[in-house]
Amino acid sequence: MSEHPLPAASDLPSAVRDLLWDVAPGEMCLPRHRDFLIGRILTRGTWAAVDWLRRELTEAAIAEYLHRTRGRLLSPRQLRFWELVLGLPEGAVSGWIADRQGASELWDRRGIRSGA
């Protein structure tokens, strides 16, 4: 897959441009910065930004990102949404959410000693 720079900031939809406040869009290339863009848009973007992403990348690319990262940046609610939209395996998404809840419980119990 060849890399191509993102359009100039002035040519990006405002919904996408607003999400890239901390980077220079003209210096970003797909697919090199694909994970950053997918993560930022899926977690913080409006529907207009998501629509742009879905025009720029395939649904398979977005699903592959979610599988590879186990949806680590997305909330359980966001994951359930993308599970339905992209046809992600329910068991996989449930596992990602359960793993996070287990890790959260471990973190919450830090410092608690047995018998104390």
Cα angle 103, 104, 106 (rounded to 5 degrees) comes to 65
User: For every one of its 116 residues, what pLDDT tens digit does the chain have, with 9 covering 90 and above?
Assistant: 556 666 655 578 889 888 988 887 777 777 778 899 999 999 999 999 999 999 988 999 999 999 999 999 999 999 999 999 999 988 999 999 998 875 555 555 566 665 54
Domain chopping of the chain, boundaries: 4-108
Helices 59-69, 47-56: crossing angle, 10 deg rounding: 110
Q: What is the pLDDT of residue 9?
A: 59
User: Do residues 25 and 52 lie in contact, with contact meaning Cβ atoms separated by under 8 Å?
Assistant: no
The answer to whether the predicted template modeling score (pTM) of the entire model surpasses 0.85 is no
Q: What is the pLDDT of residue 100?
A: 83
